[in-house]
Amino acid sequence: MALYSDKVMDHFRNPRNVGVLEDANGIGEVGNAKCGDIMKMYLKIEDDIIQDVKFETFGCGSAIASSSMATELIKGKPVSEAMQLTNKAVAEALDGLPAYKMHCSVLAEEAIQKALDDYHSRSENK
């Protein structure tokens, strides 16, 4: 059996939503000191809908694929739905990750949660 699914390889080789959103109103950055992966998520939210999402990830193929898939799963969705995204859902959407790479999907979940927290804190301070 192959180590990575075709979906993981596709999202690694052709990541979706890569880059920086200059007008982001929610930004979250997380890292894993053990493996060195760093993820930064940018959200553009209007009328409680994630209109656009971009990411920058420094890390392994699983980290890049997890970031890419996570952005695809929340783009165009209500904030309330994005808040429910779990690392398990990211891994399942990728047709699985090796057990020792599940931390990559956890980072994707955490980066989105931090970006959503940032959005909410900016909204409260308006």
Give the pLDDT confidence of 74-88 residue by residue, as tens digits: 999 999 999 999 999
Query: Fold for domain 6-124?
Result: Sufe protein. Chain: A (3.90.1010)
Inter-helix orientation angle 61-74/102-124, to 10°: 40
Known catalytic residues? 35, 104
Q: In this model, does residue 38 exceed pLDDT 60?
A: yes
CB-CB neighbours of 80 under 10 Å: 9
How confident is the model at residue 1, as a pLDDT? Answer: 41
Q: What predicted TM-score, i.e. pTM, was given to this entire model? A: 0.94
Q: What angle do CA 108, 120, 66 make, to 5 degrees?
A: 10
Q: Where are the domains of the chain?
A: 6-124
Mean per-residue pLDDT over the chain, rounded: 94
